[in-house]
Amino acid sequence: MKEFRKKYFGSRDFYRHVFTIMLPIMIQNAITNFVNMLDNLMVGRIGTLEMTGVSIANQLLFVYNLCIFGAVSGAGIFAAQYYGSGNHEGVRNTFRFKVLISMLLTAIGLGLFFFGGELLIGSYLRGEGDPADAAKALGFAQQYLRIMMIGFVPFALAQSFSGTLRETEKTLPPMAAGLTAVGVNLVLNYILIFGHFGAPRLGVRGAAIATVISRFTELAIVAGWTLRHKERNPFIVDAFRGLFAIPGRLAKQITLKTIPLMINETMWAGGLAFLDQCYSLRSLSVVSACNISNTFFNVFTVSFVSAGVAVGIIVGQDLGAGRIEEAKSDARKLIMFSLIIGLSVGVVYFFVCPLFPQLYNTTQEVRDLAKSFLTICSFIMPADAVLNASYFIVRSGGKTLITMIFDSGFVWTAQCVPAFFISRFTELPVVPFYALIQAMIFLKMMVGLFFVHKGFWIQNIVQE
């Protein structure tokens, strides 16, 4: 027992270090997701069709957001290791790379949604239901998406700043920026969606406007703090003056690591969007039910998702500093830490999740479906927590191709392909259909633990 405890549990100082990195990220993510939940509830109070339209648009926006996250995270692997080795010039060049790649992807995303948005939204509205309702939901989704596109540039830049600050262990400024932004978003949602304090009642357009303003607010705060504290953030000195001055060899290295990770995040998010599209073929009610389930699942998983980010930073810094054995030891302890969090959250979620659908102004069919989806999700939380930690461990060593195979490759082969055939060639009811696809998470967890155990991920990618 003593040997087991020593192998899988750390000291007080170890957990103090974990919580120092994790808590600001968790607080920011928790409040962000809580406000997103309130946004969702506000839109849901208007009506089912408005909620359906916004949820479809957000599924598509989620793919763009994860594409940006993947690109920024790819360079972030280098930033964490450079910081661990004390190389500020290396951190500066990774920040420059983040800005350039995120702006390129933003331009692509704007073009895709501007010219193909209607086609993408329409793919979710083919299930059983009134064609007139589908047309109205399409209109609400288009209104929301067009306004949200204005916030793409500030979102991408804010991710570049915040990611670099976290990788250099300055997690409080991104947290403060994020909290302020969600506060602005919440207040403006209340005013603009429902028309309070003399403002016009804008409905879904009000929700989009509030979110866009919050994007600019977050960028202003995080960029302003970084630029005002150059002594604490040496990476920002002359970062924009020499934006294209990234050494060719380093740019090639980062690109080779980033492309698989960027593809992975995009394909993973695209896979989740595709799964919801498969479920939606059963009926329009499924779209709203999935939206309710996804919203509350995101709120409750912030603890182990934030722990995963901390895992990547801690193990990445170990590798960058050449502490290989310490990296292995930390990885084991952090997986156990994530498992305990996942079990705890899953138990709480199981007992409280039946209450959530009652908060929405929607049909009883949607409420019943959402309750079933929420209950199923409570059982997969422990596995989700472990595979999340495994993902960040494998990624921390720069093994992005293996990361892509493990993450998005699994989603598309083990979940999307079966979902495609079940949705189109069988009459299996949506609840057992949903449960079957979600159960594949347990298999994915075993794959992730295998990769961590084998040590494929262990390498120092910034050593000269």
For residues 232 and 124, what is the distance between their CA atoms, to the nearest angstrom?
A: 47
Q: Are 301 and 379 in contact (CB under 8 A)?
A: no
Q: Are 381 and 298 in contact (CB under 8 A)?
A: no
Q: What is the pLDDT along the chain (464 residues), one digit of tens a residue?
A: 677 777 778 788 888 888 888 887 787 677 666 766 777 677 777 777 887 888 788 878 878 887 888 788 878 878 877 887 778 888 888 899 999 999 999 999 999 999 988 888 887 776 555 677 778 888 888 999 999 999 999 999 999 999 899 888 787 898 889 889 888 988 998 899 888 888 888 888 998 999 999 999 999 999 999 999 888 888 888 888 877 878 888 888 888 877 877 788 778 888 888 898 899 888 878 888 888 898 888 888 888 788 887 888 888 778 877 788 888 888 888 899 999 999 999 999 999 988 888 888 788 898 999 999 999 999 999 999 999 898 888 877 767 777 778 788 889 999 999 999 999 999 999 999 999 999 999 999 998 888 888 877 787 666 54
The stretches of 195-247 forming alpha helices (DSSP H) are 204-228
DSSP string of 94-148, one letter each residue = HHHHHHHHHHHHHHHHHHHHHHHHHHHHHTTS-SSS-HHHHHHHHHHHHHHHHHH
For residues 63 and 60, what is the distance between their CA atoms, to the nearest angstrom?
A: 5
Question: Is 361 strand, coil or helix?
Answer: coil
Backbone angles phi, psi at 128, to 5 degrees: -60, 140
If one counts every other C-beta atom within 10 angstroms of the C-beta of residue 256, the result is 13
Q: Are 128 and 91 in contact (CB under 8 A)?
A: no
List CB contacts of 93: < 8 A, sequence separation 6 or more: 245, 246, 247, 250, 251
Q: Report which of 445, 240, 230 is spatially closest to residue 343, judged by C-alpha positions.
A: 445
List CB contacts of 16: < 8 A, sequence separation 6 or more: none
List CB contacts of 344: < 8 A, sequence separation 6 or more: none
Number of helical (H) and strand (E) elements in the chain, helices listed first: 18, 0
CA 396 to chain centre: 17
- Which residue, chain included where needed, has tokens 């896979």? 271
- Which residue, chain included where needed, has tokens 């929405």? 360
Q: What's the pTM?
A: 0.72
